[in-house]
């Protein structure tokens, strides 16, 4: 699959994930939040929780969130989340978590795999 197709697949996946989150009662706070450390695909809120999301789109139905976000990506997401929280103090007192959503598309069929609390950053994640 070429870069243009990967990009289009990613855009589709992020749109489907956003619609899914809204249907599950989440409010979208930000999409594609960039910092010097990296990017968060989506930041959503539900009740008293702020959720930092990585969204992956696959053109098959192979499962597996364990390989979806490497330790290095976890570090980048954690640092980027810290920047977000420092930039928006209104979210300081909220619980936070890191979720992964995998959008599987294959032959016109779509399956959404949402893993709450997909990883927990430890002290080594922070400068």
Number of structural domains (the chain) is 1
Encode pLDDT of 62-112 as tens digits: 655 556 788 899 999 999 999 999 999 999 899 999 999 999 887 788 899
Residue 49 lies in a domain: yes
Cα–Cα distance between 93 and 101 in angstroms, integer?
Answer: 25
Q: Provide the CATH number for the domain around residue 19.
A: 3.40.1350.10
Is 127 contained in some domain? no
Q: Which domain holds residue 88?
A: 3-120
- What is the per-residue DSSP string for 30-76? EEEEE-SS-EEEEEEEETTEEEEEEEEEESS----STTTS-HHHHHH
Q: Please report whether residue 125 resides in a domain.
A: no
pTM above 0.85, yes or no: yes
Tell whether 40 is covered by a domain.
Answer: yes
């Amino acid at each position: 699959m070429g870069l243009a197709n990967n990009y289009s697949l990613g855009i589709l996946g992020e749109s489907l994930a956003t619609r899914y989150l809204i249907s599950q009662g989440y409010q979208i706070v930000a999409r594609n939040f960039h910092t010097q450390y990296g990017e968060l695909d989506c930041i959503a809120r539900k009740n008293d929780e702020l959720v930092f999301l990585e969204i992956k789109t696959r053109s098959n139905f192979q499962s597996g969130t364990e390989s979806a976000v490497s330790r290095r990506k976890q570090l980048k997401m954690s640092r980027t989340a810290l920047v977000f929280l420092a930039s928006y103090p209104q979210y300081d007192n909220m619980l936070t978590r890191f979720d992964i959503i995998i959008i599987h598309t294959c032959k016109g069929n779509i399956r959404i795999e949402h893993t709450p609390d997909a990883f927990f950053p430890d002290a080594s994640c922070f400068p």
